[in-house]
């Protein structure tokens, strides 16, 4: 039998040779393209997550701002109502004091007693304190009971407290609006990253695509730092 390989065996050898490891070696151009695609996919994934978080946070802070501002408006309405009630009470106290003072100038103790019975208990405390200053002979005495430190109006105190709460709620609403605007600005940075990655696929040169990925990565890091510097999502 002649030595050597038959045509069939030669075909088998060539087939096995073509299936060898070197057949799967990726050309340099394909390797760069694959690395670029991996980089772009990774960058897009991170940007998508960051953009979703930033958009959600902006929406939550926008809602928080509207709630706080609406709460401030409600508190101001309540403060106005309390202030009007305090004004009505003050007018009543002034009318009863005027009645007493008229009876006093007429030197009519019976009418004075009737006027005093109309005093509110809180006003009576201030009235007695005012009489204790001897206003008839003391030129330094306050002009009337309503000028005494003992004169208190519960509705006025309530109105002042509600006004302070309204100011705090309004300030909180403004701060929430600012935070929401910051998150929107962050979303703009992330949109720029998406744009860079998007136009990168139109270029064939790996160098340009690497550069765009690098710039996008820098913007992503900047946006991430900005997100970490913002307060978390409100409850």
To which residue do tokens 């609006």 refer? 177
| 234 within domain boundaries | no
pLDDT in tens, 15-57: 454 454 444 444 555 665 677 778 778 888 888 888 888 889 9
Q: Would 190 be classed as within a structural domain?
A: yes
Is residue 4, in this structure, part of any structural domain at all?
no
Say if 116 falls within a structural domain: yes
* R_g of the chain, CA atoms, integer Å: 42
Within 8 A by CB and 6+ apart from 111, the residues are: 99, 102, 103
Q: Give the dihedral of Cα atoms 225, 227, 228, 233; nearest 10 deg.
A: 180
Give a yes or no: residue 97 inside a domain. Answer: yes
pLDDT in tens, 149-176: 999 999 999 999 999 999 999 999 999 9
Residue 17 lies in a domain: no
Left (φ > 0), alpha (ψ -120 to 50) or beta: where does 20 sit? beta
Domain holding 63, by residue range, is 30-229
In a domain, 119, yes or no: yes
Q: What is the pLDDT of residues 164-210, one digit of tens each?
A: 999 999 999 999 999 999 999 898 888 888 888 777 777 677 677 77
What's the number of domains the chain is made of? Answer: 1
For residues 132 and 126, give the distance between their C-alpha atoms in angstroms, rounded to a whole number: 10
pLDDT at position 51, please?
A: 87
CB atoms near residue 10 (< 10 Å) = 11
Quote the pTM value.
0.68
How do residues 102-141 score in pLDDT, each as one tens digit? 999 999 999 999 999 999 999 999 999 999 999 988 989 9
Q: What is the pLDDT of residue 25?
A: 47
Residue 3 in any domain: the answer is no
């Amino acid at each position: 039998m002649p030595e050597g390989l038959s045509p069939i065996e030669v075909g088998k050898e060539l087939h096995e040779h073509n299936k060898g490891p070197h057949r799967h070696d990726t050309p340099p151009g394909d390797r760069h393209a694959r690395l670029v695609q991996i980089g772009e996919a990774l960058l897009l994934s991170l940007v998508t997550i960051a953009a979703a978080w930033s958009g959600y946070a902006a929406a939550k802070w926008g809602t928080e701002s509207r709630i706080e501002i609406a709460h401030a408006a409600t508190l101001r309405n309540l403060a106005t109502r309390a202030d009007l009630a305090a004004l009505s009470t003050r007018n009543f106290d002034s009318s009863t004091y005027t009645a007493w003072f008229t009876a006093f100038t007429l030197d009519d103790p019976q009418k004075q007693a009737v006027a005093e019975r109309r005093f509110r208990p809180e006003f009576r405390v201030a009235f007695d304190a005012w009489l204790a200053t001897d206003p008839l002979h003391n030129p330094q005495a306050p002009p009337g009971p309503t000028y005494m430190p003992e004169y208190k109006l519960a509705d006025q105190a309530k109105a002042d407290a509600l006004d302070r709460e309204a100011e705090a709620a309004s300030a909180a609403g403004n701060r929430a609006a600012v935070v929401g605007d910051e998150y929107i600005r962050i979303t703009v940075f992330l949109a720029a990253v998406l744009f860079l990655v998007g136009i990168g696929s139109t270029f064939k040169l790996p160098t340009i695509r690497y550069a765009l990925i690098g710039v996008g990565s820098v913007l992503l890091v900047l946006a991430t730092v900005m997100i970490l510097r913002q307060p978390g999502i409100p409850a």
